[in-house]
Amino acid sequence: MGEPYYITTAISYPNGKPHIGHAYEAIAADVIARFQRALGRDVRFQTGTDEHGLKMAQKARETGVSPRELSDEMSSYFIKMCDDLDISYDVFIRTTEERHHASVQELWRRMEAKGDLYLDRYEGWYSIRDEAYYDESELAADEGGEKLSPQGTPVEWTVEESWFFRLSKYAEPLLALYNENPQFIQPDGRRNEVMRFVEGGLRDLSVSRTSFDWGVKVPGSDGHVMYVWVDALANYLTGLGFPDESGDFARYWPANLHLIGKDIVRFHTVYWPAFLMSADIALPDQVFGHGFLLNRGQKESKSLGNVTDPLELAERFGVDPLRYFLMREVAFGQDGSYSPEAIVTRCNAELANSYGNLVQRVLSMIFKNMDGTLETFSSTDDDDVLLAAVFSACRDELPREFEALNFSAGIDAWMKGVFACNAYVDEQAPWSLRKTDPDRMKAVLLTLFMAIRDLTIAIAPVVPASAHKVLDQIGIPADQRDFAALTDADWYMARVATGEKLGAPSPAFPRLEMPEDTGTA
């Protein structure tokens, strides 16, 4: 078994249906998981839903169902999204599961045993309607000077009993962590923000609530439920069987990568490592805060009427084109914009016209002009140069960039390999060699066949279904599709030896239709 590699996404709030941001994060994590598997690692990939807390309780009340009913229904949409988008998760965790309660309570007990939890009073501006505290700085005032929450609801100064976590004690250890492990928070811009924040000093954190009960009970403290972030973050441990520290936990913890969005970096890089330090649990290697996806440059919101259902996009354009677009278009870590036109333009130019067309042309010519037969051939320098270029794009550049989570740059390197093949087809013009030099035609087509196999294996983590369709068509066995297969010098001879002919190819990357009405999302 390969080296263990544990990757997680954030667990989503199922207080609405999944949006494009959820799809983006799941797809990026899936590309990483598939890529790491292709490198031979023993991957554990976890995603799930974050079902407790005020947001869920409020939403349930609004819709007239119990929080339990709401979370059962809504989490099923997130599971469906993952399944529809070909997300190869190993564990889908729900924080309402019994085992999760047991896991969070054990984390709590350990922090308490450390002396890091104490009971005190929480004071602040509280909105009963919102069931939330606000900072003085967030408040507005009505015409009569009465204070209002950002939601426009009345607030009153409230004092509540709450458990506190001694976060202040961890400022120095956290700064040491960031300084000694620059990879812990990525990208660098986010790391700098977090460092500035912690350097400013940390206040102890209120970690229990008495104003509602939809959460994990604080052990031995009636009436208190845990602050939802303590509960949510612990999911990464629960999914490995914690508090049982043998088995999966021993194998996969600490996580290699928590992949999350930029808005929740602080929770994952300040609170989470502090909780883990307190409980004497090893820290994850890296937290990566990806950027936000914007709809034509705008945040999606119900009031703007521009909320996109990612599954509708997948249905309209195909799962793989959507996955390709998202990984290709946006420099990972930065914000990015999408629109149906951008998806069509990008996927048609690169997937359909450059790569798909190459595959289709070459396989059709092998089928028609060579009866689909693969055979040995003698190559020229031109063939060798092409293969070396494709090999280096697929074996060196793409993996190097993907390992660093630079997906767009990795795909760019891959596209250079595709362009090299297209330039080679045009120069060699195998169609005109058919009569004049059939041996050379064969050598050209078979060289391209070899290049296509490499290019397809390399891009498979991004477009898994289409890539496997091509690899099926060209008869590459399922266990010879990882990155190690790219360096197997004998694969082609082994393939020839099977004697299996190629059939008529069917296109794996059809052209997409440009939307007629370009005015709306």
Q: Return the structure tokens found at 369.
A: 């002009």
Piece of the chain touching ligand ME8 by CB under 6 A; list 67-75, 182-190, 256-264, 390-398: 256-264
Q: How far apart are CA 106 and CA 396, in angstroms?
A: 44
Nearer to ligand ME8 by C-beta: 264 or 521? 264
The reply to whether omega before 150 is within 30° of 0 (cis) is no
CB of 301 to ligand ME8, least distance (A): 10
Nearer to ligand ME8 by C-beta: 37 or 290? 290
First to last CA, the chain: 46
What are the C-alpha distances in Å from 162 to residues 116, 139, 216, 220, 226? Answer: 14, 22, 14, 13, 10
Binding flag, residue 339, ligand ME8 (CB under 6 A): no
In the list 260, 276, 330, 421, the residue contacting ligand ME8 (rule: CB under 6 A) is 260
With 0-12 / 13-18 / 19 or more C-beta atoms within 10 angstroms meaning exposed / middle / buried, residue 267 is: middle
Binding flag, residue 233, ligand ME8 (CB under 6 A): yes
Nearer to ligand ME8 by C-beta: 78 or 414? 78
- The answer to whether 238 and 96 have CB atoms below 8 angstroms apart is no
**């294996």: which residue's tokens?**
457
Question: Would you give the DSSP letter of residue 217?
Answer: B
Q: Return the structure tokens found at 152.
A: 């426009």
Q: How far apart are CA 77 and CA 148, in angstroms?
A: 35
Q: Which residue's CB comes closest to ligand ME8?
A: 261
**């999914």: which residue's tokens?**
239
Amino acid symbol at 23: A
Residues 292-321 that bind ligand ME8 (CB under 6 A): 292-293
Among 179, 132, 180, residue whose Cα is nearest residue 153: 132
CB of 517 to ligand ME8, least distance (A): 23
CB of 417 to ligand ME8, least distance (A): 29
Quick one: how many helices (H) and strands (E) in the chain? 23, 16
> Which residues does 482 contact at the CB level (< 8 Å), separation at least 6?
37, 38, 39, 40, 457
CB of 80 to ligand ME8, least distance (A): 15
CB of 236 to ligand ME8, least distance (A): 7
Piece of the chain touching ligand ME8 by CB under 6 A; list 9-17, 125-133, 408-416, 452-460: 9-17
Q: How far apart are CA 519 and CA 521, in angstroms?
A: 7
CB of 79 to ligand ME8, least distance (A): 14
Nearer to ligand ME8 by C-beta: 16 or 372? 16
In the list 102, 139, 148, 264, the residue contacting ligand ME8 (rule: CB under 6 A) is 264
> Which residues does 189 contact at the CB level (< 8 Å), separation at least 6?
333
In the list 198, 232, 450, 502, the residue contacting ligand ME8 (rule: CB under 6 A) is 232
Binders of ligand ME8: how many residues, by CB under 6 A? 18
In the list 35, 44, 50, 105, the residue contacting ligand ME8 (rule: CB under 6 A) is 50
Q: How far apart are CA 449 and CA 440, in angstroms?
A: 14
What are the C-alpha distances in Å from 1 to residues 40, 145, 210, 375, 429? Answer: 8, 67, 47, 35, 45
> In 3-state terms, the chain is what percent helix, strand and coil (to 5)?
50, 15, 35
> Which residues does 370 contact at the CB level (< 8 Å), separation at least 6?
442, 445
Nearer to ligand ME8 by C-beta: 266 or 469? 266
CB of 35 to ligand ME8, least distance (A): 20
CB of 157 to ligand ME8, least distance (A): 29
Residues 170-209 vs ligand ME8: string with x where CB under 6 A? ----------------------------------------
CB of 270 to ligand ME8, least distance (A): 13
Piece of the chain touching ligand ME8 by CB under 6 A; list 104-112, 133-141, 142-150, 258-266: 258-266
Nearer to ligand ME8 by C-beta: 10 or 390? 10
In the list 5, 6, 10, 125, the residue contacting ligand ME8 (rule: CB under 6 A) is 10
Backbone angles phi, psi at 433, to 5 degrees: -80, -15
Nearer to ligand ME8 by C-beta: 102 or 139? 102
CB of 407 to ligand ME8, least distance (A): 14
Q: Return the structure tokens found at 340.
A: 């149906």
Among 2, 4, 12, 24, residue whose Cα is nearest residue 327: 24
Piece of the chain touching ligand ME8 by CB under 6 A; list 158-166, 232-240, 452-460, 487-495: 232-240
CB of 87 to ligand ME8, least distance (A): 14
Piece of the chain touching ligand ME8 by CB under 6 A; list 6-14, 199-207, 211-219, 413-421: 6-14
Among 81, 53, 156, residue whose Cα is nearest residue 314: 81
Residues 404-443 that bind ligand ME8 (CB under 6 A): none
Piece of the chain touching ligand ME8 by CB under 6 A; list 4-12, 145-153, 209-217, 340-348: 4-12
Binding flag, residue 12, ligand ME8 (CB under 6 A): yes
> Which residues does 50 contact at the CB level (< 8 Å), separation at least 6?
10, 11, 12, 13, 14, 95, 228, 231, 232, 235
Q: How far apart are CA 369 and CA 434, in angstroms?
A: 8
Residues 17-46 vs ligand ME8: string with x where CB under 6 A? ----xx-xx---------------------
Binding flag, residue 255, ligand ME8 (CB under 6 A): no
In the complex, which residues of this chain contact ligand ME8 (CB under 6 A)?
Answer: 10-13, 21-22, 24-25, 50, 232-233, 235, 260-261, 263-264, 292-293
